Amino acid sequence: MPKRFTKTAQGRQEIRERRHALGRTARNLLLILDAHRSAPEWREMVQGASEADFEVLLAAGLIEEVLSPAAAPTPGQGELAGKSARSPEEAVAAVLDFESLYSQLTAQVKAQLGLVKGYRYALDIERASNMDELQALAERLVAEVTESKGSDAGRKLRRVFQLAD
């Protein structure tokens, strides 16, 4: 089974602070990488990416391997990842903390806008340093999804992010 990776806390910090001298493809991988796709899939999506880029990110502690695809959160699951599937109403019952909202935003941006259009959001998500900034991004995404896909899609996304109506 192909390996899957996710960003570490150091990886998210690297995106904000740029402490490592990463090459363009390694940095692009770090920006968009999540456990929803395997390493080979990400290599196909990021032009010029190679196994060496993953090795650089791993060696620097910026990404880590996800042991099982079941452990990777899927859009709409947030902190419920790895647990049995639950209805959207049960998922909303859990309060989102910074890490959960960060994960939800990252997953939903890609799911709602696609990889290319979601790229600018990914950069903004990585720059967010507190809960207020993440919630403002979530509101902005809800507004954009409501405009492009309709009010039902916006309401569903608002519930996923646990934002007030």
* Domain residue ranges in the chain: 4-71, 78-161
Q: Is 163 exposed, middle or buried (0-12, 13-18, 19+ CB in 10 A)?
A: middle
pLDDT in tens, 103-128: 888 888 888 888 788 888 888 888 88
Flag whether pLDDT at 94 surpasses 60: no
pTM listed for this prediction? 0.52
Task: Specify whether the CB–CB gap between 36 and 107 falls below 8 A.
Answer: yes
pLDDT in tens, 1-39: 788 998 998 998 888 888 889 998 898 888 888 888 889
What pLDDT sits at residue 71? 44
Orientation of helix 98-127 relative to helix 24-32, angle to 10°:
150
Task: Specify whether the CB–CB gap between 104 and 34 falls below 8 A.
Answer: no
